[in-house]
Structure 1
């Protein structure tokens, strides 16, 4: 048993999910999940990000580098950016400014302005220097419990994301935060975490673009 495998199994049990349920919801095979949990195989980076996204934990937690499941929690708003953690001293944190645009819909779709409304400071250790990032404030409840209204959602700029991952999308001039799933027949669907919302089918006639891949969220809880 590895730390990653042990934590995967514990997180799955906390969610009260069977191997079959996790397989269906992530697109990973049952045997792959079992191999990861038993330490037989290690997931690739792309798969690791999918697993951490599914469990809403940070990669460092899943790998055993920290015992904190999700290190970003809003404790106050400052001119320099957001404070990471309740006890941290903001002056001791190296922050990278990330532009914040109009609210992105976690419901029925909304516009995103071309100019950022403000900037949010994210600890540099949380981001890759090789990537570009942007943030939106979540509107609507379709991504609950993963993302709540009012959360700041940070995305890594990307024109494609793996099936099963959460991303930022433009669809016929509307902007969404959803979970993308690709199927063997070539269909693309955008799913909500809240089962009260119906999935959205992306057709070949639609003007559809992937804008970014979900990286993390900042909550006000």
Structure 2
């Protein structure tokens, strides 16, 4: 299975501090009636980083603590009572900070119809930027900017190490996070894809939903561990043996599997979510 990286034991004092911060952030979230992804988008704190703060699994960095305090319009000591000053010095506001404040203020002034138009336009700009870059995405820090509050999100266990749709990607020592996505799927966890071997069905940057299983049938798509690397491939079982098949046959050859192979099935790919066009 996917192993979690060991970490040093925290002191009781640090655990208490994390819980205090988590309780105060959850109270602010509840009072604001905002979703986690809306807070992430508005504050600039990555979604999965924010999730760790809300769950008491991590202590906020000073820069993120200030961003959250600015977003909720409270002092940093209102979030972290151990802070003795009202604010943390982060230097003068840059242009991006001022743009975010202006955009947030404008959003608050709009009626529901015009807010929706702003949300649609911002989502389209994010998709346009991702499509232009076509680079591997740092999934742990990826958010969909200003997502509509009318859209329901669902939480999944998430491993922020991309599996390979190409030459393989090691999945050991991976920390489990939580990710919120706007589709409901019966799956055990979500992982990102990296590489082009499964195009046109799966693209680099996609999220795939995986259902744990040790037994897949011929032709099914799954996540497999092969000599320490993890792949998303199609399992082919024929008279001549079994192998892992890539859809992009022009660039990638099949990977043969025999009784002597260091191989196991992690699970079946049951769905995919794509953040870009």
Cα distance between partner residues in 2 of 1:117 and 1:98: 7
Structure 2 gaps of 5+ residues are 1-122, 128-139
Q: Which residue does 1:188 correspond to in 2?
A: 242
Cα distance between partner residues in 2 of 1:93 and 1:190: 36
Q: Which has the larger radius of gyration?
A: 2
Aligned: 1:152 with 2:207: yes
Tell me if the contact between 1:98 and 1:122 (Cα under 8 Å) persists in the aligned partners.
no
Aligned: 1:215 with 2:270: yes
Pair 1:167–1:107, CA change in 2 (3 A): same
Aligned: 1:127 with 2:189: no
Cα distance between partner residues in 2 of 1:214 and 1:126: 14
Tell me if the contact between 2:159 and 2:190 (Cα under 8 Å) persists in the aligned partners.
yes
Higher helix share: 2
TM-score by length of 2: 0.44
Higher strand share: 1
Cα root mean square deviation, aligned: 2.9
Count of residues paired in the alignment = 138
Aligned to 1:109, which of 141, 155, 168? 168
Cα distance between partner residues in 2 of 1:122 and 1:209: 28
Cα distance between partner residues in 1 of 2:191 and 2:174: 12
Cα distance between partner residues in 1 of 2:268 and 2:223: 6
Alpha-carbon offset, residue 155 of structure 1: 1.0
Alpha-carbon offset, residue 118 of structure 1: 3.5
Cα distance between partner residues in 2 of 1:92 and 1:140: 30
TM-score by length of 1: 0.54
Cα distance between partner residues in 2 of 1:188 and 1:174: 18
Cα distance between partner residues in 1 of 2:165 and 2:207: 12
* The 10-residue stretch of structure 1 (193-202 or 109-118) with the greater mean CA deviation from structure 2: 109-118
Alpha-carbon offset, residue 154 of structure 1: 1.7
Structure 1 gaps of 5+ residues are 1-74
Q: Which residue does 1:100 correspond to in 2?
A: 159
Pair 1:147–1:113, CA change in 2 (3 A): same
Alpha-carbon offset, residue 116 of structure 1: 3.0
